[in-house]
Amino acid sequence: MTADPPPPAPVFSPLHAVHVAANASFTDFAGWQMPVRYSGDLAEHHAVRTAAAIFDLSHMAELSIHGPDAAAFLDYALAGKLSAIALGQAKYSLLLAPSGGIIDDVVVYRTGESEFMVVANAGNHEVAFETLLERSAPFDVEVVDISDDLALIAVQGPRSREIVAATTALAFDVVKPGTVHTDTVHTDTLQVGTVQTDTAQVDTVQVDTPRSAPDARSLESLKYYWSLTAAYSGEPILVARTGYTGEDGFELYVPVRLAAELWRDLVTAGEPYGLIPAGLASRDTLRLEAGMPLYGHELSLDTLPAQAGLGRVPNLSKGDFVGRAALENAASAPTALGAETGGAPSAFVDEGETHSPSTPSRVLVGLVGDGKRAARAGYPLYADDTPGGTLDNAAGDTHDDPAPAPIGEITSGVLSPTLGVPIAMAYLDPAFAAEGTAVSVDVRGKRLPFRVTPLPFYSRKRA
């Protein structure tokens, strides 16, 4: 998101003409011209929270991983245990550098016994592909960039299941051989059993009942972070119950040539439910309310998973994987990487170090403020020692030092459309990271009070 070399000619989504016709405003995102909004950020945001909206995410990168060693390769190349997910299942994971830093965060879908799809961020398209390709050398596996073949359409919001079901050209009762097998349920049960005992027991009961087999291929029974193959205009498309908004929703991976037609069909089916097209602006405010990290803001090559609250993504009970040794070292060190920078208190390590919000040992927290003024990415955080948290001179009055060192930095912030208060994510020195701690943010020269609050800021009511 910061200054990069000027991008080459913009890339257009296969749905670009549809967006132009819908009067979208566009923004550059990782070299792509993508819709930033149609009717308005707030209307689009509220549509996702109360009804549904449709997003074009065709800028995302899709990488196909297939071959006899596919599962073993991903267990080595990514931080999670991807061999443990069942056919049709999806899993959030991390692509780590040997340093333990985050190259990208990805969602992995198992689309076959020896076949996976890794979905990477648009901004990390090249590095994710090249890193996986490089790491695949010792394995009997192929890594293929299929991004140019696929468009990605997301339907998100509480009415999204009804909308996808009402899209008559989408057929969910047809199962293509080689994509979603008839033994899905069986595999599912085995795999769930290895991961989580409680769930396994529940699922086993379901499997023993005859009705569960067809259910596993129906939209109604498709669980969150599972996918299935539907037929659209006679072609298989992957329909996943995944998303980045904090609401129920679906992501549809569709061949480029069918994308515009599917978009129109979904819009037509969705209109009675209040579905509207939504752009990247609302996508960002939605994911922030849901406490979801965004690469380039909360995640970077200088961030260890544990700092970002993703300590449970790397699976240390599996075999070796890239980044493992660094994570184990960090875990055994007293203050993570902070100890290796010379043992200085982290508040004073700032100068001369690489400038990253996640300066070693800082941790990601949620912050909530008063009033209407947002704290935005890059704004510094200071200790707030004044009882009651008065606005002005809070730090200056209580310290002799006229320029106290920042204790952290905002990575994302907005006036929450759903909650009506400023919310932000920030990296903070651990001494200030406890829930309820009062801090102050320098908002363009004015100190505004915020307090540490658990993530996410917003959770949908689950049925």
Partner 1 sequence: MTDYSALTFTAEHEWIRLEPVSEGSPATATIGITSYAAGRLGDVVFVDLPEVGAEIANGSVVGEIESTKSVGELFAPLNGIVLAKNQSVEDSPELVNSDPFGEGWLIKVEFTELPELLTFAEYQALLGDDALTDDETDRAGA
- Measured between alpha carbons, how far is residue 371 from residues 65, 115, 288, 327, 422 in Å? 48, 50, 18, 40, 7
**Contact (Cβ atoms closer than 8 angstroms) between residue 323 and residue 314:** yes
| Contact call for residue 45 and partner 1 (CB under 8 A) | yes
Binding span for partner 1 by CB under 8 A among 39-47, 231-239, 428-436, 447-455: 39-47
Binding span for partner 1 by CB under 8 A among 90-98, 137-145, 188-196, 371-379: 371-379
Helix (H) or strand (E) holding 126: helix 125-135
Contacts of 135 (CB under 8 A, 6+ apart): 73, 76, 77, 322
**Contact (Cβ atoms closer than 8 angstroms) between residue 302 and residue 336:** no
Site string for partner 1, 241-280 (x = CB under 8 A): ----------------------------------------
Residues 409-428 that bind partner 1 (CB under 8 A): 414-415, 417
Contacts of 178 (CB under 8 A, 6+ apart): 112
Residue 251 is labelled as binding a ligand: yes
Residues 376-405 that bind partner 1 (CB under 8 A): 376
Both tokens of residue 403?
A: 């320029």
Query: What is the closest distance, in whole angstroms, from the C-beta atom of residue 371 to partner 1 in the complex?
Result: 8
Q: Which is nearer to partner 1, 406 or 417 (CB)?
A: 417
Measured distance CA(337)–CA(361) in Å, rounded: 6
| Contact call for residue 25 and partner 1 (CB under 8 A) | yes
Site string for partner 1, 427-456 (x = CB under 8 A): -----------------x------------
Encoded amino acid at 235, one letter: E
Measured distance CA(112)–CA(181) in Å, rounded: 8
| Contact call for residue 40 and partner 1 (CB under 8 A) | yes
Query: What is the closest distance, in whole angstroms, from the C-beta atom of residue 415 to partner 1 in the complex?
Result: 5
Count of residues near partner 1 by CB under 8 A? 21
User: Which of 455, 124, 97 minimizes the C-alpha distance to 107?
Assistant: 124
Question: Site for partner 1 (CB under 8 A): which residue of 281, 299, 424, 439?
Answer: 281
**Contact (Cβ atoms closer than 8 angstroms) between residue 394 and residue 406:** no
272: helix, coil or strand? helix
The separation between CA 145 and the C-alpha centre of its own chain, rounded to angstroms, equals 20
Question: Site for partner 1 (CB under 8 A): which residue of 87, 374, 383, 424?
Answer: 374
Output DSSP code: residue 299.
B
| Contact call for residue 285 and partner 1 (CB under 8 A) | yes
Instruction: Write down the residue that tokens 């544990």 correspond to.
Output: 306
Question: Site for partner 1 (CB under 8 A): which residue of 31, 33, 39, 396?
Answer: 39
Query: What is the closest distance, in whole angstroms, from the C-beta atom of residue 36 to partner 1 in the complex?
Result: 8
What are the residues binding partner 1 (CB under 8 A)? 25, 36-37, 39-43, 45, 281-282, 284-285, 372-374, 376, 414-415, 417, 444
User: Which residue ranges are tagged as binding site?
Assistant: 251
User: Which residue ranges are tagged as binding site for substrate?
Assistant: 251
